[in-house]
Amino acid sequence: MAEVMRATVASLLKGIDRYNPDNLTTLEQYVKMQVDENTYDLEANLAVLKLYQFNPGNYNESVTIYILLKALTNLPHTDFNLCHCFLSAKNLNSEDVQKVFFLADLLEKCQFKTFWKCNDFFSSAALLQILAHIDDLPHMVYDVVGFEDSIRKYICHVIGICYDTISRKVFAELLGCIPEMQLNQWIAKYGWKLIDSDTIFIAVQEENIKTKNIKETITLENVAAIMTMASKGQLVPPVAPQ
């Protein structure tokens, strides 16, 4: 079903017809299909947002929120930022749209425990206020099939490039306080190993650091030109720091 719809939408997006507002109904249905069937088509979703730009009277906030949430499922790619560029200032100021941007900000800053509302954070009055804000998110967050696992995949990506080892407790919290069985599945998925009952070996990060040799070539002609300018007083002296 999704593949048939993808092919239909691809044909609608060819040439000038991609800006035809009569296609909005089909494209919006396709967005909902992505939400329900855990598929993703960035090009089609950007086309919807572009049509909203050209036809503000057809703007649908619910569809926009679905598009933004689907973009979050493709982190660490920059899809969310692309979608952001297509939203007008008026639409950005919507309370529900701002809530999605709040979630995106937490993920960008790697505040994963706050994102999942782990109990460790309930001792902070400031974070209690933040968590209350999350609780008021639109119900569409929970409609997106595979949303939580997509975020966990992103979190594992971050862990994979930042950690040598990590404790099972911290790892479980970062993934949303998931049960032991799920935790073991994520460890196995990324090929990580248990060093002992509480420590997960991720990688030796030093082995992943690629050195880069920077070669700068200064020719005799370059030096001669500078010396000539200096002898004629044509070089501008550097400005002293204030």
Residues 24 and 96 in one domain: yes
pLDDT of 217 reads 75
pLDDT of 127 reads 45
Among residues 91, 119, 145, the one where a domain terminates is 145
pLDDT of 209 reads 61
Residue 50 lies in a domain: yes
Please give the backbone phi and psi of residue 76, each rounded to the nearest 5 degrees, phi first. Answer: -90, 15
Round to the nearest angstrom and report the end-to-end CA distance of the chain: 65
pLDDT of 118 reads 39
Distance (Å, whole) CA 169 – CA 112: 14
Residues 177 and 102 in one domain: no
Residue 70 lies in a domain: yes
pLDDT of 119 reads 35
Q: Can you say how many angstroms the Cα of residue 237 is from the centroid of all Cα atoms in its chain?
A: 45
Residues 204 and 92 in one domain: no
Residues of the chain with pLDDT under 50: 118-128, 130-131, 134, 239-242
CA proximity to 48, closest of 11, 23, 70, 72: 23
pLDDT of 4 reads 82
Q: Is 131 left (phi over 0), alpha (psi -120 to 50) or beta?
A: alpha
Secondary structure E strands in the chain: 165-167, 193-194, 199-201
Q: Number of structural domains, the chain?
A: 2
- How many Cβ atoms sit within 10 Å of the Cβ of residue 46? 19
pLDDT of 237 reads 58
Distance (Å, whole) CA 116 – CA 70: 18
pLDDT of 124 reads 42
Range of the domain at 114: 2-145
| CATH code for the domain in which residue 37 is found | 1.25.40.250
pTM: 0.78
